[in-house]
Chains A and B, each alone.
Chain A
């Protein structure tokens, strides 16, 4: 066995070499714009029971260790179409990433147009809030719509309710399914207790925890119940067997892996099973499952009464045995982000505006099964979405928080802008920011997302193009031209039926990502886009 091993390895290497650098063309097939998991089926399955305790234990103590012991190969996201984008699915709908949205649209989130005001009173209190950190109850407004109401609690008044409203709108604009969350002001007289609702004593405890406005009204967050029949939470890893459409393991879905950057942006530590909701869209006999994200009250700078826990928020998970053992045996001499001196925290935003932010060093409460699989291309995809949130969008979002002091909204906007910049520096520069390829009049044009969103200046951009026809013959191509945030290159006159065009753009001394490699097929009407890939810089054709 020992003598045959080198020969075996040589054979394997040879086999690998024979296939390693082959051209991988995109098939002549329609672009996948909609995931097959949106197809209707039936009947409606039984609701799934929450396993959040096991989810946490697995994320903290087993998942990473088993991956390491099984020497698992890095796996690419699966649900990525030929343009390196995610199709609309039960988890995600393309919104700001593929079309511009006005600040008002972004701020509205999932709420119907003109529905950002307090729900019509009186409110009939119909049920208690079953679990979670913040106290609350279920109510039905005068129009018959049911909402979940949550208050801030004594610590950090206004933050939790504002975070729920702002982050729900932000993630909705990004493409995820979230509820319509609104900051509301009401009076105790607006509530009508019912037989099925909480006791007066419990209701009084909830209201006692609410922030009180100067005019005496109480502040809370009202979350409109999502459309559909609740089926319980969903997990960020694996599939749910009763859902016949659920065939792509969730940890291989780009929209879930890349969600890591979006939640890091807003410091949403609690992105885990307990804050998800699966919904049946349809009737009892036929429909499909939609996967929503809920409960963002921990975002935008939550602090803890224990200072040490607060310092670790965003820098360490609830438990990190590896770091604990490292710190034990190195006598605490390895620098850690949480060793910093606590800065004066803002009464509402905590240290959200002042803490150092490293997009790749950011940690949720525990790895949820998808986040730890995010790779460079997933991160670049999320960065292209985040880039679309410019300052006016952030200001509109901050206004949803209805802070009593306008200075808090300004502080929040500055913090979001600073963190956005950190994300773009880390992830929009790793792979090409060129996107949305199109062919017009014999020219291939792409949007430079870094320039169109103000991250880079067009005047300082350096563009280059190269092309290969068929299986690899180099073809001369003109230098790209640039206008209105678009980079265009004239397609060469070649006989080949398949063409690959590399368009590179960079800002010297700031970034140097790899090219956007556009694959084109010649059809009856001329060249059409077959696919787009974003190889790392230096990767061979």
Chain B
């Protein structure tokens, strides 16, 4: 059987290359035509090369087929309008890009992103992802830069998400306590941002979001859902955020410190719930070369109810999904009145526009005012990532991470999260 395979591969190789080799007989491939000297004898080495050639023949056939297919598509294309090294990119007033998101424990999402530009002053973007009638996400943004350093924006978002799992509130939430649900939301945000200097950004925004939830499937343990689950909510939330970031955070190899603090006031206009939210994040990056850096970061979030009515759970601090937020957990499963994460990330450049990273994180959600925060109740998360460089709508990213139970419960690896996205960053 092995001999038959080898012989068949050899015959196939010879058959495929015969026309090309026949053509080569018409070409001058020996120096003898120029120096009038017999060529050196290479017959022994040439004979020996046939052994690996036969063994690699299937791979060679596959690669050759790939080459020919690619040539069929690319050869008719004429010269590009400009080189990839063009000094200035050719501005495109209309841009259409695909949007793809594949995520563990979620149905795939494929969509389109459309951008309309008037120079660098005015941009309208629209993106949608739709896989089936159970899921739709639409996002649009209008941005205006009337003067240097000032940006005004209007953003709208609407979507339905199914196959969601709520593991409850607090540090001990676990899949065994989950509620399967569907989340319908819609809303908009109006903001104004000012850059006093390059590394600083002050933003004032007003957000309105409408939430509705419904149970799905057979829950393992039907239990009282989280606050606001049965009734839903319409939230109005003004926010003030201030950010200082010395780093070129989009690429490896740039050191510095970053600090962000945000305060928002939330109100459920359908009910009595009022709350105050605080977010803070600090990060320090040390660059070891133009392509390597290490970042130590800390994140904390707190929601303080101002009335007896608790805020709708979807407005509470949540972890999962992204590096720095316990990436080993799927987004939207852990909620609490407070959350904190410490993370360490090593990032290195692997191509002109691609960075890889390794990260480890520790943190969890907790009760009001971090009142049950202890080190033993932290979860761990660790993983790898790939990120393209560029703005937030021309992106490619891959994350693969694992997370553990709280250390006090044994810290066993329980859960993982993998995500690939193309297009707008999630």
Contacts and interface: CB of A to CB of B under 8 A. Distances in A.
Contacts of A302: 85
A104 to B, nearest CB: 33
A327 B289 CA distance: 14
Contact of B3 (A1, A312, A336): A1
B60 A54 contact: no
B63 A65 contact: yes
Interface string B352-380: 11101010000000000000000000000
A32 interface: yes
A154 interface: yes
Interface string B39-73: 11111111111001100100110011011001100
Interface in A11-41: 12-13, 15-17, 19-20, 22, 24-27, 29, 32
Interface stretch (B234-242, B310-318, B343-351): B343-351
A194 interface: no
Interface in B75-123: 75, 77-88
B79 A53 contact: yes
Contacts of B77: 51, 53-54
Contacts of A239: 27
B37 A25 contact: yes
Nearest to B86: A133
B211 interface: no
Contacts of B350: 324, 327-328, 332
A52 B88 CA distance: 21
B139 to A, nearest CB: 27
B292 interface: yes
B35 A80 contact: yes
A404 interface: no
B420 to A, nearest CB: 15
A365 B85 contact: yes
Interface residues of B, number: 67
**What interface size band does chain A fall in?**
35 or more
B290 A50 contact: no
Contacts, number: 198
Contacts of B348: 327, 331-332
A62 B291 contact: no
B356 to A, nearest CB: 5
Interface in A322-352: 324, 327-328, 331-332, 336, 338-342
A12 B291 contact: no
A519 B66 CA distance: 48
B34 interface: yes
A302 B85 CA distance: 9
A53 B82 CA distance: 11
B22 interface: no
A269 B78 CA distance: 21
A62 B44 contact: no
A306 interface: yes
Contacts of A82: 34-37
Contacts of A12: 43-44, 47-48
Contacts of B352: 306, 308-309, 312, 318
Interface in A293-310: 298, 302, 304-309
Nearest to B55: A71
Nearest to B45: A73
Contacts of A327: 348-351, 356
A13 B48 CA distance: 10
Contact of A332 (B29, B63, B86, B292): B292
Contacts of A252: 29
Q: Is the interface of A mostly helix, strand, loop or mixed?
A: loop
B43 A16 contact: yes
Given A53-B79, A306-B352, A324-B350, A79 B43 contact: no
B26 interface: yes
Nearest to B347: A332
A211 to B, nearest CB: 13
A12 B33 CA distance: 27
Nearest to B84: A318
A113 interface: no
Given A252-B29, A531-B35, A57 B74 contact: yes
B28 interface: yes
Contact of A133 (B40, B59, B85, B351): B85
Contact of A531 (B37, B66, B74, B291): B37
B28 A78 contact: yes
Which of B29, B33, B352: most chain A CB closer than 10 A?
Answer: B352
A311 B80 CA distance: 24
Contacts of B53: 70-71
A185 B418 CA distance: 59
A24 B88 contact: no
Contact of A249 (B29, B43, B290): B29
Contact of A324 (B33, B82, B351): B351
A46 to B, nearest CB: 16
Given A66-B67, A304-B85, A308-B251, A24 B44 contact: no
B37 A153 contact: no
A52 B75 CA distance: 8
B34 A32 contact: yes
B53 to A, nearest CB: 5
Contact of A54 (B39, B41, B71): B71
A26 B36 contact: yes
A62 B75 CA distance: 14
A3 B132 CA distance: 62
Contacts of A80: 31, 34-35
A26 B37 contact: yes
A87 interface: yes
A361 B291 CA distance: 19
A233 to B, nearest CB: 8
A95 interface: no
A304 B39 CA distance: 47
A121 interface: no
A418 to B, nearest CB: 23
A208 to B, nearest CB: 12
B43 A29 contact: no
A341 B86 CA distance: 23
A270 B46 CA distance: 35
B255 to A, nearest CB: 12
B59 A69 contact: yes
A81 B35 CA distance: 4
A247 B75 contact: no
A67 to B, nearest CB: 10
Contacts of A324: 350-351, 354
B67 A133 contact: no
Given A308-B290, A308-B291, 18 more contacts: A12-B47, A12-B48, A20-B44, A24-B37, A26-B37, A29-B36, A52-B79, A52-B80, A65-B63, A66-B60, A69-B59, A71-B52, A79-B31, A79-B34, A248-B27, A308-B352, A309-B352, A531-B36
**For the complex of A and B, 7 pairs with smallest distance between CB atoms:** A16-B44, A332-B348, A27-B36, A19-B41, A54-B74, A69-B60, A327-B350
18 contacts: A9-B48, A16-B45, A19-B43, A32-B34, A49-B78, A51-B77, A54-B71, A62-B70, A70-B56, A73-B46, A82-B34, A133-B83, A133-B87, A306-B352, A308-B352, A324-B351, A327-B348, A365-B85
Interface of A: 1, 9, 12-13, 15-17, 19-20, 22, 24-27, 29, 32, 49-54, 57-58, 61-62, 65-66, 69-71, 73, 75-82, 87, 131-134, 153-155, 239, 247-249, 252, 269-270, 274, 298, 302, 304-309, 311-312, 318-320, 324, 327-328, 331-332, 336, 338-342, 365, 531
